[in-house]
A and B are shown apart, each in its own frame.
Chain A
Amino acid sequence: MKKISILVVDDEESVRDSLYNWFLEDGYHVECAESAKKALLILESMNFDIILADIKMPGMDGLEMLRRIKALKKESIVIVITAFATVDTAVQALKDGAFDYVTKPFDPDDLSHLIRNAAKQIMLTEENEMLKEKVISLENLEDLIGVSEPMQQVLREVQSVAQTNSSVIISGESGTGKELIAKVIHSNSPRKFFPFVIVHCGALSESLLESELFGHEKGAFTGAMYNRKGRFEMADNGTIFLDEISTISPKMQVELLRVLQSKSFVKVGGNKEISSDFRVICATNTDLKTMVDEGKFREDLFYRLNVVNIHLPPLRDRTGDIPLLVDHFIRKYASAMNKPMVSIEPSALQKLQEFRFPGNIRELENMIERAIVIGNGKKITLRDLPITKDIPGLATESLDDLEKNHIQQILVKYSWNISRSAKALNVDRVTLYNKIRKYDLKP
């Protein structure tokens, strides 16, 4: 059971001491503040589940403090206490969002009831949040669409790995649905009632990733105004999904290996060891084994992560699934946009099955969404799809677009291996890097 924390705010020392001892004996974590100003300062750096505050205090009174706390954190539970109860102040306190209102001195039993009720409210709120997250994040195996053999193989692998606690690497080109597979594994594992935490490693710099994963203490660096929980801590009892794992720096690779081995870590700027029980699932669109061979990815980390490897086939290798996927996306977007169900012309479907889809399922999904938006509302025709006869996916006819498209396709083909892509394009690596920068190409 979670240990409830209580902040007692009262200008009378004897009251503070009494409540402090009482709550301590009840096993709560308790802190005291002698004024509203001091309490607000404490609340800047620490979170408390319950704030028990006297209304009548010199300087800022309890009601003003209540309003400020509520403005900062709406869900805070504040109980106001006073020596002289008047209907007006009680009504005002409740109007301003107080959880309850009590007159001192109160019966020991009333105090116990009050705190028990507040604790119950906290647990219900947390449970509600957790269930909401669960409903949003849970994915069924049935949500994985595909009758093709490569996809059936993936489904079998997902089913067998879901019940275990093993680390998983999901590899595959961009847009093949790696995150969805990770969610399905989590949703079908014994950890399904606990958080599924996503970290997009590629989107964060080294220092940001460090603070994101491990959390930080207030003042750990410029801009660290508050203590913050890290993703590893949030994923306690659940699953952490590290997307684009190949992008993390050598320093972070060492850190990650250490955390995976000990399942404990220290917040940035902190000194307390925090333990967390999480399962790790990684995704990559580059060949990690090649990176290990090239000395860009730690071998020990690779072997620790690569207990199970699930490779997602690109859409061009499972064209038999395209009709099912098209049907799924039509239903999804017609329903989301409140439009009638539309069908697709056989010739348009045929074209989609011939298309190479460098952006995989994500690209197909975007095409269908666009077709439903701009189409006539009855049938998706070839005209509604951004596919030309000879150059797939080309939106304009400029030389730049042609070059950009070609480089993109080659990069995808060689899983963004720069050396191999440069060789295929017959240019040197520097030229290819310049082109990637020029066209803002991304994996």
Chain B
Amino acid sequence: MNPENIVLISFGQFEAAFLLSIAREVKREFHHPVRIREGHLDLSEHYDAVRGQYNANSLLKAVDQMHRPEHTKTFGLFQVDLFIPILTFIFGQAFLNGRSGIASLYRFRSERYGMKSNEDALLERFTKEVIHELGHTFGLVHCYFPGCVMQSSTYIEDIDQKNAGLCAQCREKLNPG
């Protein structure tokens, strides 16, 4: 197997075309071959009944354990509502300069905010979030450059306003020289 692989592991029902589209964008942004795999986890172990949400810290650890030395990064794709103890929700998280990350499309659905369902917007938002979290695994921190995918986003409106790509400065940090 190519040692430069980024592995995207899907947990739950994702359409193949949806995953391929994300993989294409990730490859374009990080210039690494991307592989898609289907993963299996007992999500109930990560469910917090009091909050009615899934613990992102324990899910990230579970995905991290699936990492293989032959992979560059391992990334989990989810469809459930993620939280960390201190925050009401999160879109995704990753180990800064680490080997794994996770993201969920749960909070990217327009219908959650009283709008019409929009599959294109859902794909675009989720793709940006996956690239953002993978950026953290490559050591990038939040960027203040308008439009950069590494800008911190806490609402879907923030995500809609930024691009799916890195700004020149973040790209330089990623590939110095």
A contact residues vs B (CB 8 Å cutoff)? 12, 14-15, 17-19, 21-22, 24-27, 81, 104-109, 111-112
Contacts and interface: CB of A to CB of B under 8 A. Distances in A.
Interface string B84-103: 11111110011110000000
B57 interface: yes
A18 B85 contact: yes
B152 interface: yes
Nearest to B98: A21
B87 A25 contact: no
A15 B86 CA distance: 6
B86 A19 contact: yes
Contacts of A17: 57
B141 A107 contact: no
A166 to B, nearest CB: 35
A121 B33 CA distance: 45
B135 to A, nearest CB: 9
Contacts of A14: 57, 84-85
B142 interface: yes
Contacts of A107: 87-89, 154
23 contacts: A12-B85, A14-B57, A14-B84, A15-B86, A18-B84, A18-B86, A18-B87, A19-B86, A21-B93, A21-B96, A22-B86, A24-B141, A25-B93, A25-B94, A25-B142, A25-B152, A26-B152, A105-B51, A105-B83, A105-B85, A105-B88, A109-B155, A112-B154
A108 B85 contact: no
A108 B87 contact: yes
A25 B138 CA distance: 11
A108 B141 contact: no
Given A108-B90, A111-B87, A26 B96 contact: no
Interface residues of B, number: 20
B84 to A, nearest CB: 4
Contact of A109 (B57, B136, B154): B154
Which of B85, B89, B90, B142 gathers most chain A CB within 10 Å?
A: B85
B72 to A, nearest CB: 19
Contacts of B94: 25
B152 A112 contact: yes
A106 B142 contact: no
A19 B86 CA distance: 7
A46 B94 CA distance: 28
A106 B141 contact: no
Q: Closest 3 CB pairs between A and B?
A: A27-B141, A18-B84, A109-B154
Contacts of B51: 105
Which of A12, A18, A19 gathers most chain B CB within 10 Å?
A: A18
Contacts of B88: 105-108
Contact of A104 (B86, B142, B152, B154): B86
